[in-house]
Amino acid sequence: MALWAAPAGAQQIEPQEFVLDNGMKFLLLPKTGDPSVAAGWLAKVGSVNERPGITGISHLFEHMMFKGTHTIGTKNYAEDQAVRERMDAVKADLRLEELKLQERHRRGEIADPADPTHRSPRHRELLEEFNALQQKERDLLVKNEFDRIYTTAGASGMNAGTSQDFTIYFITVPANKLELWFWMESDRLLNPVFREFYSERDVVREERRLRTESTPTGRFQEQFEALFWSASPYHWPVVGWPTDVEQITRDEALAYFDLNYAPNNLVAALAGDFDPAEARRLAEKYFGRLKRNPVDPPPVRTTEVAPVAERRMVAHAETNPQAVVRFLTVAEGHADEPALTVLGALLSGRTGRLYKSLVLDTKVATAAGAAQNAQKWEGYFQLQGTAVPGGRPEGIEEALLAEVAKLQDAPVDARELQKVKNQFAADNYRRLTDKFFLMLQLLLAENTTGWQALNEYPKQLEAVTAEDVQRVARQYLTPETRTVILYYTKKGAAPADPSLQGLSDQERQIVQQMRAQVQKMPIEQATQMLAKIEAEEAGVPDDKKKMVAAIKAILEERVKKGAQP
């Protein structure tokens, strides 16, 4: 569930809501006196909406949507279009040559279909033409013009993200530049141009290498997800399987865009200083140009089958010994979700049962936590712990399950339960003061159960009883629904990065990914991100402070290097 919901008893969030004739919904939260507007829109499509053969296409669109339009990003649109059309034709011919090599490989005639020595003269000729066309395309580009228009106008924080359940685009603009946002965002939906399509597939492939293949546990985590989700489309990674990403065609991309980026599958939100009546006029003027798709995207059809036996996985990685235990539970909006969320909070954090037992009392772990992870169509509850150097992952698994058993055997104390509820209310209230997070949470909630959940969910958390917690722990956290991965330290592994000590495996991956991104980040963006973290540092939950501190240190190092002569 959303982290930034309104605490029970607090003033309710009541955005102004309207829907254009083409089906696009807008949520408005005006706040007089704030000189800027946090603006974003969300496409109700993520990796869960893909199919085998085009996995990763949702994430690929996140990249392509910044490549410009008919008027932005090119020196000569007509010539640009002609080059792209010829590239598609050459790529189709290249695909036929590649299929011949794959067939030879299937028959055992060649060892590696990617080996250049096996290419035919026609294959080499096509590659030469294709490379020349790519260079011509680059010569026609106006690089990063979309971003430059925004930043010149004083906008900041432009970014996007793809998850299993959605793709989101957002930015903060000066209040007097709101019409620019309406034009820019509607234009890239009305007149998208997927420039650098084939080279961008390579960029995504490199991103996968950095995020998954080059991290200590990335490939194991990917395999664990595929083991846990045996039927559900949550089975494949957001970044996609490598062979799919490498072979997605522009025609497949256009068809996917027409269905999933139609206005009847979009929602936008604004929070800040603006006139709602003017915002509606601008929405109708600009986004009203988008044509509704007569076919709505279909809901996810394939759901996870009920597990009947425990599944286990063992991995040897360059990491400290650790255990991850996951149970199939419920999706976002389910009646049992609040109780499972409270259960996770009772076990997590510096004052949670897992930290007290595994880290402070028995000293078998350096970190431990738990959480209910409710997604749009499915959900799971996860326990994880990292052993002290030289420790045993089996011992961590046993200790994690022992704490669960205590909650299954006896209701939680009323005072301990209320303490967790108070922490929810305090954390949520602090985050409500930021218009950017408000905008994000409106979009994320609307994508699943509706924005009204931001008002209702805190009440549902407050209503959770000790009996509810005990019941869901017994009902969902069973051996049959359990999937386990045990990590052993790989022999000869390099010493652990001291900045990652005490972090969970997921947190370490986040920090490592952030380090790779920050190294390539412009100094101005790193400085802005560092300032934002410093401003919000006091409100970070206790169990996330170490991770945030590690990210802050990475940004400080980048800013310091950037300032050096």
Q: In the numeric block, which tokens belong to residue 429? A: 């209230």
| Structure confidence at residue 498 (pLDDT) | 57
| Terminal alpha carbon distance of the chain | 46
Write out residues in the chain with pLDDT < 70, as ranges. Answer: 1-11, 430-431, 492-506, 508-509, 512-513, 516, 520, 524, 535-543, 561-565
Q: What is the pLDDT of residue 504?
A: 62
Burial of 29 (0-12, 13-18, 19+ CB in 10 A): buried
Measured from the Cβ of residue 280, the count of other Cβ atoms closer than 10 Å reads: 15
Query: For 526-558, how does the pLDDT look when each residue is reduced to its tens digit (9 = 90+)?
Result: 777 777 777 666 666 666 777 888 888 888 777
**CA nearest 217: which of 517, 529, 511?**
511
pLDDT at 539: 61
**What's the predicted TM-score (pTM) here?**
0.84
Whether residue 479 contacts residue 185, with contact meaning beta carbons closer than 8 Å, is answered with no
> What is the pLDDT, as a whole number, of residue 7?
42
Q: What is the pLDDT of residue 4?
A: 35
Distances (CA, A) of 254 to 48, 250, 470: 18, 6, 49
CATH 3.30.830.10 fits 16-71+144-289, yes or no: yes
Assign residue 450 a region (left: φ > 0; alpha: ψ between -120 and 50; beta: otherwise). Answer: left
Q: Is 279 left (phi over 0), alpha (psi -120 to 50) or beta?
A: alpha
Alpha helices, DSSP H, located in 71-167:
77-106, 121-140, 145-152
| pLDDT at residue 142, as a whole number | 92
Equal CATH topology for 16-71+144-289 and 311-489: yes
pLDDT at position 548 is 82
Architecture of 311-489 per CATH? 2-Layer Sandwich (3.30)
Domain boundaries, the chain: 16-71+144-289, 75-140, 311-489, 508-563
Burial letters 253-269, b for 16+ CB under 10 A, else e: beebbebbbbbbbbbbb
Q: What is the pLDDT of residue 9?
A: 47
As a whole number of angstroms, the distance between CA 8 and CA 3 comes to 14
Can you list the pairs that 229-232 forms with residues at least 24 positions away whose Cβ atoms lie under 8 Å? 229/304, 229/378, 230/304, 230/305, 230/307, 231/302, 231/303, 231/304, 231/305, 232/48, 232/302, 232/303, 232/304, 232/377, 232/378
